[in-house]
Structure 1
Amino acid sequence: MRSGPTSRVLLALAAAGLLLGAAGCTGSQEGPTRATLAKATGKTVSVAAESDAAERSVRTSRALFASAPGAVVAPADDADAVRSAASAAEAAHVPVLLVGKDESTGKDESTAKPAAHELERLGARWYQAEGDVAIDTDVPEQDAPDGGDAPEPSRASRQATVVVADATADAAAVATAKAAGARVVTMPDGVTDPAAAPDVVTALHERSDHPTVLVGAAFADLPDPEWTVRAAENGWQLPDGGQRPFDGHRYVALYGAPGAPALGVLGEQDPTATVQRAKSVAASYKGLGDVPITPAMEVIATVAAGDAGADGDYSTELPVSTLEPYVDAAHDAGMPVILDLQPGRADFLSQAKRYESLLSKPGVWLALDPEWRLGHDQVPLKQIGSVKASEVNEVSSWLADLVKAKGLPPKAFVLHQFRLSMIQDRASLEQHPELDMLVHVDGQGSQPDKQATWKALHVGAPEGIHWGWKNFYDEDQPMLTPQQTMADVAPTPSLITYQ
């Protein structure tokens, strides 16, 4: 399979971003008369992701309450008792503390120490027990006072957002949050990444100046909760909701360079018309598959050139000002934009840094095209280029750091490939939580050849990557229809581009 039509025209183109205080006062020796909500020291994130529900209940209490006149206690494995405790705690404006069982004895007492310690930290004068539970503490057991004592006003705590992975599994934490006056948002079933939950992103954005508490064992796998929350607070979402590029989204994109029709259909019209054409092409996939289709653009930012140029790198770096109209038009239309790099003899990282101002925008992603990554004595068209995994890792690390430093939503990181040799030591590619990596199989030719390449590149591919497919209007023999693309290319690609 040959490379794309770029090879036919290169020589003619010279420039063509609530750990609410977990500690807190414990009250006077006589105990507080009112609950005191924990005050935030700035906009913070707290995570209650222990595997044990009892531990999560205590962690949630510490995150939301600096002190309280009492608490309601229940065994973690008694759903009825937990429901009763939740109701009583909300009415009394105090936390719910769960107690687990010691597996060796089947009794609650040996695992009640965290709850007992939390009662002491809260400065509690009483606790109400629901179900078969006992705590070794000097705090007396009694029923909560009717109506309880309302918590002291605390704008930061009362407006905290508590994101709960499973409201059933963490009914105690939900009750504690409601008792504190916090807003509770529940993750969709089966979703563990807040970036992939539209309602959660919206809630965190609306309360971006307030603390956040993430509650649920599912959040234990979040590599960087603080960045996840900051990115959600940014508020940017894909048209069908959420921020994670390839979680429940599929893209149909136009490919090319501004003002260069020979390099792809994107260059055949101005930015406004490109938006409309991308929408039209994406619409042809409507009703195909069960994943929403989003129109997109892949814009060649650096074009491999037949002439060495003033810097001798055989790559024409388009100015930011040339790309901005496409980025702005796509942003206004809710479309992501992928910036594609064809570096010639330059390295990918130095070229990527040229476009930091654009990559600092939400919805602007990055693609590397190793076909055009040449050695010091190579020139375009004479050989197929390649890149070492170590160089790719330098770029992905830089891009991930940029995303984290600026609190940006996750970005797609695309690697073009139609030969195994194009990405050397591919098994060493590093993946980052800030990036969704995709291998874009962009060869042209007969459909049997394209299918063979598609299957060959899947063998031994790193786990967790996504896949893209390219349709060529003129060079494919024949080009697949949308129906054929969705039916014949398996697994179904997450990104489909047109050149």
Structure 2
Amino acid sequence: MPLSRRTFLLSAGALALAAVPLSACSGDSSSGGSSGSGGGEERARPADGTGVTVIQDDPSGVATSRILFATAEIAVIVAASASDEHLEAGCGLAREHGVPVFADSDSATTDVTGELERLGVSEVVLVGGTDTPSAASASPGTDITVHTTGSDGSDGGDSGTGVAWPDEASGGIRGDDRQRSGVALAVPSSSPTSVATATAAGFTVVPVVAADPRSTDESIEATVDELNGAGNLVALGNGFGSDDDLRRRGELAGAVDGRLPGGGQVMFPGRKIIALYGHANEPLLGVMGEQPPDEAVTRAQQLAEQYGPTSDVPVIPSFEIIVTVAAEDPGPSGNFSNYSDPEEVRPWIEAIVDAGGYAIIDIQPGRETLLQQAQHYADLLKHPSVGLALDPEWRLGPDDQPMVEVGHVDASEINEVAEWLEGLVVSEKLPQKLLMIHQFQLQMIRNREAMVTGTDHVSVAVHCDGHGPQGVKAETWQVVRQGLDPAIALGWKNFIDEDEPMLTPEQTAAVEPTPDIVSYQ
């Protein structure tokens, strides 16, 4: 594909082309890039220091360039009419030559033009289009040499795009002496231009599955090292919160020694939990207790393995262990709930945790408060791989009877448990802990809009417990999810005897949105 070199007067409103899809791969972003193709002088200079900075989702690449580059005499622009392949090729050129890359669109043209002027760009490599920038107004602009490539990709180049660094463009922008600038965290939705520009600026790009530096073991290590060193930590994409949020979570990464099964220190996204539900001493209360702990571990592992082919995150075997059981009779306490001895529960926790799994202890409170019962098992919850489940179905009022009414709880009572759990996690320096609430009727959680949606230390999930014909289960799933904050994780339960029919692992994994937790009862 022939390359052409032309000089144009670039001013605000230039580069107005059609929209470009931004789902293309950002290429290998795990290192600081490679050398340029020539021996010329360095003509693009990264910012001297960024500190700890969140860069919100940036399809055009302008916001990323503003933070990470001080100057650049040359830049790559992917034409708005370009294909995903051209976007990938343009990002590759930027990474290779150490220069910023921008994706043009009707809405981004003004920002792109302004950023070229701020950087002092005198040359542009235009990828994926033959249309050239034009002077959109009579106001004074900047002379920019534009090197263009064809857009149909019909010849040349291993990628089939016909895109290569133009011989006419100045090569060797930065060379082998490119200095490492810092660490950039990138979520899966981070725009390719942002990732490529960060790499071009010398940042080590570390992929994370959640918008949190504690997301993976790799991101924890990179974040802690950077904060203890130069301190240039940037996050690319939405969900990271403010700069202060990023710094706080980065510092937490270094303050916690433990890791969750599957890696990292935050629950979701980043893993899928497959749990057997039951009681340590009563097989009639669930499949977990139908066999000894070691055999139950094997059963949970085999079940989790069936979800492996359907998941792009680690699948973690788990036990959900009922530790207090709602009772028909008030009992000595008058609270219609019977406690399990923590020491009888502990071998089950140890068995699943030693096998690389996660344990969840489940409380059915009767007429006691959720917090009263949770505090009874504080020692078990001090383990980094033990979470807590609350069962409002069995939360009874002063005149209610179990098995007669479906119980309910106000969101304020759940929030009390979350606050207490938060304090426990902080004092014990634990990774984020799961707080799961069972629900199959909206009335079970009153004032749910006021319920905590999660904190740095507590991951909140709502677990949908409906059973019966699949049409009924699907309807319950939709009702329970109605108005639920997207920050809250989701759980699904398969009832082995009551569902008609019970979903296979493949069918369960296909439920939309995909459940983070699947339990079997």
Q: Structures share a fold, TM > 0.5?
A: yes
In the superposition, relative to structure 1, how do residues 438 and 454 fare at CA in structure 2: closer, same or farther (>3 Å)? same
1:437 aligns with 2:433: no
Residue ranges of structure 1 left out of the alignment (5+ in a row): 1-45, 58-72, 87-100, 110-160, 176-184
Name the SS for the 1:259 alignment partner. Answer: coil
TM-score (norm 2): 0.61
**How far apart are residue 476 of structure 1 and its match?**
2.0
Q: RCO greater where, 1 or 2, for CA within 8 Å and sep 6 or more?
A: 1
Which residue among 34, 47, 50 is the counterpart of 2:52? Answer: 47
Q: What residue number does 1:386 align with?
A: 408
- Residues 261, 358 of structure 2: 8 Å contact kept: no
1:316 to 328, 338, 349: 338
Deviation at 1:485, TM superposition (A): 2.1
- Distance, in Å, in 2 between the alignment partners of 1:208 and 1:379 is 57
Question: Aligned Cα RMSD in Å?
Answer: 3.9
1:287 partnered with 2:304: no
How do 1:295-444 and structure 2 match up within 5 A?
295-434=317-456, 435-444=458-467
Alignment of structure 1 residues 2-401 onto 2, 5 Å: 47-49=52-54, 74-75=70-71, 163-165=183-185, 169=197, 186-188=205-207, 192-203=211-222, 213=231, 215-218=233-236, 221=242, 223=245, 225-231=247-253, 234-401=256-423
Paired with 2:73 and 2:453, the residues of 1 have a C-alpha distance of: 38
Q: List per-residue Cα deviations over 1:323-347 (Å, max 9, x = no partner).
A: 2112222221111111111100010
Query: Structure 1: how far apart are the matches of 2:386 and 2:499?
Result: 28
1:240 Cα shift? 3.6
- Structure 1 CA distance, aligned partners of 2:253 and 2:329? 42
Whole-angstrom distance in 2 between the partners of 1:277 and 1:212: 48
Letter of the 2:362 partner, please give it: D
Q: 1:172 to 1:233 in 2, by over 3 A?
A: farther
Given that residues 227 and 407 in structure 1 are in contact (C-alpha distance below 8 angstroms), is that contact kept between their aligned partners in structure 2? no
Against the structure 1 CA distance between its residues 210 and 359, is the aligned structure 2 distance closer, same or farther, given a 3 Å change threshold? farther
Determine helix, strand or coil for the equivalent of 1:384: coil
Residue type of the partner of 1:197?
T
C-alpha distance in 2 between matches for 1:289 and 1:215: 30
Give the alignment's TM-score, normalised by structure 1.
0.64
Name the amino acid aligned to 2:299.
R
Whether 1:462 aligns to 2:485 is yes
Structure 1 residues 244 and 214, CA, compared in 2 at 3 Å: closer, same or farther? farther
Measured after TM superposition, the shift of residue 289 of structure 1 is 4.4
Contact 1:54/1:76 (8 A) holds in 2: no
Structure 1 CA distance for aligned equivalents of residues 282 and 197 of structure 2: 57
SS at match of 2:436: strand
Offset at residue 390 of structure 1 (A): 1.1
Say if 1:397 and 1:77 are closer, same or farther in 2 by CA, change over 3 A.
farther
What residue identity is the alignment partner of 1:423? Answer: I
1:231-263: per-residue Cα shift (whole Å, max 9, x none)? Answer: 455344344433322213222110011011011
SS at match of 2:307: coil
Distance in 1, matches of 2:115 and 2:66, equals 18
Maintained 8 Å contact 2:261/2:385: no
Unpaired runs of 5+ in structure 2? 1-50, 57-62, 77-93, 99-111, 121-180, 187-194
Higher helix share: 1
Whether the aligned pair in 1 keeps the contact of 2:214 and 2:264 (CA below 8 Å) is: yes
Distance, in Å, in 2 between the alignment partners of 1:443 and 1:188 is: 36
Partners of 1:307 and 1:212 in 2: CA distance: 63
The residue type paired with residue 215 of structure 1 is L
- Residues 184, 235 of structure 2: 8 Å contact kept: no
CA contact 2:453–2:460 (8 Å) conserved in 1: yes
Paired residue total: 368
Indicate if the aligned counterparts of 1:389 and 1:424 stay in contact, CA closer than 8 A: yes
Which secondary structure state, in structure 2, belongs to the residue aligned with residue 187 of structure 1?
strand
Residue identity matched to 2:233:
V
C-alpha distance 50-246 of structure 1, shift in aligned 2 (>3 A): closer
Counterpart selection for 1:479 from 458, 481, 502: 502
362-371 vs 217-226, greater mean Cα deviation: 217-226
Equivalent residue of 1:450, what SS? Answer: helix
Partners of 1:473 and 1:498 within 8 A in 2: yes
1:197-250 deviation digits (Å, cap 9, x = unpaired): 331224567x69957835115455363633543345534434443332221322
Instruction: Kindly indicate whether the alpha-carbon contact (under 8 Å) linking 1:302 and 1:340 is maintained by their aligned counterparts in 2.
Output: yes
**1:296/1:330 contact within 8 Å kept:** yes
- Contact 1:201 1:235 survives alignment (8 Å): no
Instruction: Note closer, same or farther for the CA distance 1:433–1:232 as it changes in structure 2 (3 Å cut).
Output: farther
Larger deviation: 232-241 or 321-330? 232-241
Deviation at 1:196, TM superposition (A): 1.7
Mapped partners of 2:118, 2:222: distance in 1: 40
Say which SS state the counterpart of residue 310 (structure 2) adopts. coil
Which range moves more in the overlay, 296-305 or 265-274?
265-274
For the residues of structure 2 that align with 1:286 and 1:50, how far apart are their CA atoms?
Answer: 33
Amino acid at match of 1:467: L
Identical aligned residues as a percent: 39
